[in-house]
Chain A
Amino acid sequence: METVTITMKNPPALYLEAEHICPDEFAGKTTAQIAELHVYEGNVTSTLGKYFEISGNAGATAEETKIVVKGDVKKVKYIGMKMSAGEIVVEGSTDLYAGAWMSGGRMQVKGDIQAFAATAMKGGELIIEGNAGNYLGAAYRGDWRGMSGGKILVKGNAGSDVGMYMTGGEMVINGDVDVHLATHAEGGKITVKGNAPGKVAGQMVEGEVIIFGTIDVMMPGFKYVDDVDLEIDGTTAKFAHYIGDTGERHKKRKGQMVYGNLYQKI
């Protein structure tokens, strides 16, 4: 795998929209060609080379291309948007829409990310070493299809509306989450190792949510069923099992009503 390193040298006065920082765009291009890719600061279109120093080589295809992003990119949006293969490593923190609509490959952010990361993600792997913002793995506004595949790992905390309209894939959050986890979910699995304040899995049709910590206010649409033993990361523990949201529509499969499942560690 070939590596391209881009380093921020002229930070933007406002914010930069840089959806072309993506292995699919860099593949098969020389550093000079990469420097000519467009970026947008407000209504002004300029080039990647104006803001970043670019070194290394891109692979022939996206699979063979790794991008390392260095310097302060806290004001850069859309890094890794629509990536389908290859790898991105962001050394620090980045802004909105990181890995949005990604369908493959691996993206690692060593700092924090802001809202709308992994919007409608279809596949691949997103690893956030710091904290994630709101709407992680959620649907785009008005869409009923959130994250449908792939894996997300957040080592810190995540914000509100995580996994809204999620239909598939897997998400693990090592810290706490804010309100509205897995709202409207129709599939997928979310594991939260920390606490959730409430409004967990409201309007959930199908899917799985596992909470290790506390839930301050339980949704009335979730009904306790039984205690179960679950094995997660090699250790087995006892969880209270709830089904719901009983106020929402549900499908029948083999004559049985299919509910969303919520597990809380006892």
Chain B
Amino acid sequence: MTKTVTDVVCPFCGTLCDDLEVSVTDDGKQILDVYNACAIGAEKFLHSQAKDRITRPRLQQPDGTWKDISYDEAADYTAKMLAGAKKPLMYGWSSVNCEAQSVGNEIAETCRACVDNTAAVCHGTTLIAVQDIGLPTCTLGEVKNRADTIIFWGCNPCHAHPRHMSRYSIFPRGFFTGKGHKSRKLVVVDPRVTDTAKMADMHLQVTQGQDYELLNAFRVAIRNEWLPDVVAGIPKEKIIEAVTMMKAGRFGIIFFGMGVTQSLGKNHNIDEAIAVTKDLNEYTKFSIMPMRGHYNVTGSGEVLAWQFGYPYSVDLTRGFPRYNPGDTSSIDLLNRGEIDAAFVIGSDPGAHFPISAVKKISQVNSVCVDPHITPTSGVSKLHVPVAFNGVETGGNAYRMDNVPIDCRKVVDAPEGMLTDEQFLVMVRDRVKKLKGVA
């Protein structure tokens, strides 16, 4: 016999779908199937069931082999490394629940470390722009019930946030959007003809690296000022048509992804996109929202901002929080050789950082806390496998619109395995002893 766990929250992307159903064996130890999830979300649940999963911490030996050690020994090693370093980096946090992030921040404060989350290579530039000019935003519920003009700029939800369009932005029939996708206009701005772009009423195939110019042209068009004939590969007439469509809607929203946050212009692209949103509010209701990637990267920003005042790239080495991406951000710290220890949790810089930065991780003392074997665990001195958040333990996470949602435990972790939070509490207690803090 099997039983079904309902209203499960998916711990994969920032959409944080909360309508999953998971069938498990009667003893609650094994997942049999996952319903309502997208292919990526379902796989996240199912691969936690892999038979060859690493269940104990492993220490890399001088000859490159791995030796199994206990969680106590792993916590000792981690605490010694963090307490002994002059400038340790604690990076990741985006696939970890808020409770564990808070414990991690306590360790960082005690050790005077640098704390950073994956926003550093993702939507960090968005956060800089928000600090510069603010953010007129809304919740995904408002999008579902009200939005009739949807703009996807530099993002491809068909593949990166597969259920975003069916749950919130395009297809659902909301309170004021009773005709579903028939009542919505979709504009996609992307240099590539993506699957999302193929669905669009209007696809603006912007020249790569010129989003800033196109956004600027939108603002000029909104003000009816003079425009050059072609901007960023888009004819003037098309820009004016797009702006007219945006002005005519009842409620519009710009969703944007890493196509604009990490291409040339970076934070300025978002700065200008927010300014476009602000300008459009002279004519109609308009909002803007970042398509956050990891399911709890938003939560990490929230917890860091609540505890230290800044959402990412926080430097605590002087005993008080400082923040300046470019100086205190992970890739810069690594590439410049500013840190002497690396602690990575709930993310995989080994796969996403430039190779020069990954090399630096391999050259200093390093610990990787991750349920999987990843390129990061491969270059780290110590790999600590933990239970899957949102599958084998619950905890709080923030959706991309800053709505906190409690995740649900579906099955037990393999026997003897700890959660991120349990392991971090062990490290925190040891660090406090080493530093002589009560």
Contact = CB atoms under 8 A, between A and B. Distances in A.
Interface residues of A, number: 38
Interface string A55-90: 000000000000000000000010000000000000
Contacts of A180: 265, 268
A15 B334 CA distance: 12
A220 B132 CA distance: 22
Given A14-B338, A217-B210, A245 B216 contact: yes
B324 A43 contact: no
> Counting chain A CB atoms within 10 Å of each CB, which of B132, B219, B222 scores highest?
B132
B134 to A, nearest CB: 11
Contacts, number: 108
Contacts of A116: 324, 326-327
Interface string B103-116: 00000000111000
Interface string B193-211: 0000000000000000010
B327 A183 contact: no
Given A142-B131, A247-B225, A221 B317 contact: no
A140 B325 CA distance: 11
A117 to B, nearest CB: 12
Interface string B89-121: 000000000000000000000011100000000
Interface string A240-255: 0000011110000000
Interface in A1-59: 13-15, 17, 40-44
Contacts of B337: 14
A239 interface: no
B340 A14 contact: yes
21 contacts: A14-B87, A14-B339, A40-B318, A41-B87, A42-B87, A42-B317, A43-B111, A77-B327, A115-B327, A116-B324, A140-B324, A141-B323, A144-B132, A180-B265, A199-B212, A199-B264, A199-B265, A199-B268, A203-B268, A220-B216, A246-B226
Interface in B244-289: 264-265, 268, 271-272, 275, 279
B220 interface: yes
Interface in A209-255: 217-221, 223, 245-248
Contact of B86 (A14, A142, A179, A199): A14
A108 interface: no
B223 A246 contact: yes
Nearest to B85: A42
Contacts of B227: 220
Q: Secondary structure at chain B's binding surface: helix, strand, loop or mixed?
A: loop
A179 B324 contact: no
Contacts of B113: 43
A185 B279 CA distance: 19
B217 interface: yes
A223 B318 CA distance: 48
A123 interface: no
Interface string A112-145: 0001100000000000000000110000111010
B205 to A, nearest CB: 17
A221 B225 CA distance: 8
B213 A220 contact: yes
> Counting chain A CB atoms within 10 Å of each CB, which of B85, B113, B128, B225 scores highest?
B225
A180 to B, nearest CB: 6
B21 to A, nearest CB: 44
A15 B336 CA distance: 9
> Counting chain A CB atoms within 10 Å of each CB, which of B128, B218, B264, B327 scores highest?
B327
Contacts of B265: 179-180, 199
A202 interface: yes
